[in-house]
Amino acid sequence: MPASLGPGPWAVIASAAAMTAIVGVRYLVTSGLFAWITGRVRPGIYMGLNRQIRREIGWSLLSAAIYGIPAGLAAWGWQEHGWTRIYTDAREYPLWWMPASLLACLFLHDTWFYWTHRWMHLPRPFRIAHAVHHASRPPTAWAAMSFHPVEAITGAVVIPALVFVVPVHVGVLGLVLTIMTVMGVTNHMGWEIFPRRLVHSRIGHWLITASHHHRHHESYRCNYGLYFRFWDHLCGTDRGLSSP
Ligand SMILES: [Zn+2]
Ligand SMILES: [Zn+2]
């Protein structure tokens, strides 16, 4: 170990490397699972997309490495110094805070995503940061993390920053990460996995699933949200659903 690097820096590097591995494996397992399901229920829709899929996997694994750095820093700060507001004793806050904090995390993530995403649709930021994501035409289950490194940085910092601000039970944090992962994959899968009755219901009017995000990949200048249609409705950028 070089003299200038004490155990502290090595612990941070080890934490970032572990997080990179976790995010990378999580991506491969989740995208692999939904790509396999796609092959069963919509055989042939990824036909002729092998080159695109290889690119999607390459960009996604690079994104996993980028996501691992702030996640590793936050995990290290939590474990070594108790810096974050992650808590493990469910009685530390009232029980109602669990669903409330889940919604708060998703809404704040959605808000950050909506505005950074709109910004990345300006001509210059689009060319630099977002064209990679839209090179998937049509996107597949492997496109969930297919981002240019600049876009990956904007996505990677959100949850690690939120855990310093919002008190969140470790189980709720796990649920936030699960929802983020599953929705990221299913929204790009090229077909709607949720029942029509939900997607076209009054609740569906406020939720983003593949039918909504697929439209963004078709038309570019609408449907910018991540989980909720709140900002799209408020800002007049919601153009309704596609039928992937
Ligand atoms: Zn997308
Ligand atoms: Zn976009």
Residue-wise pLDDT tens digits, 167-192: 999 999 999 999 999 999 999 999 99
Ligand found nearest the CA of 129: 2
Compute, in angstroms, the gap from residue 192 CA to the centroid of ligand 1. 14
What is the percent of the chain where pLDDT is above 90?
94
Compute, in angstroms, the gap from residue 132 CA to the centroid of ligand 2. 10
Q: Please determine, for residue 217, whether its predicted confidence score (pLDDT) is greater than 80.
A: yes
Compute, in angstroms, the gap from residue 244 CA to the centroid of ligand 2. 17
Compute, in angstroms, the gap from residue 151 CA to the centroid of ligand 2. 10
Compute, in angstroms, the gap from residue 136 CA to the centroid of ligand 2. 11
Ligand found nearest the CA of 151: 2
Compute, in angstroms, the gap from residue 11 CA to the centroid of ligand 2. 36
Compute, in angstroms, the gap from residue 72 CA to the centroid of ligand 2. 27
Residue-wise pLDDT tens digits, 5-37: 456 788 999 999 999 999 999 999 999 999 999
Compute, in angstroms, the gap from residue 44 CA to the centroid of ligand 2. 25
157-162, Cβ contacts within 8 angstroms, sequence gap of 24 or more = 157/70, 158/108, 158/109, 158/112, 158/113, 159/71, 159/74, 159/105, 159/109, 160/70, 160/71, 160/73, 160/74, 161/70, 162/105, 162/108, 162/109
Look at residue 2 in the predicted model and tell me its pLDDT. 45
Residue 244: count other Cβ atoms within 10 Å of its Cβ: 22
Give the integer Cα–Cα distance in Å for 161 and 96. 23
Compute, in angstroms, the gap from residue 73 CA to the centroid of ligand 1. 27
Joined together, the tokens standing for residue 194 give: 């949720």
Sequence length of the chain is 244
Which of 6-10, 28-32, 41-45, 119-123 is predicted with the least confidence, judged by mean pLDDT?
6-10
Compute, in angstroms, the gap from residue 143 CA to the centroid of ligand 2. 12
Compute, in angstroms, the gap from residue 217 CA to the centroid of ligand 1. 6
- What is the pTM (predicted TM-score) of this model? 0.94
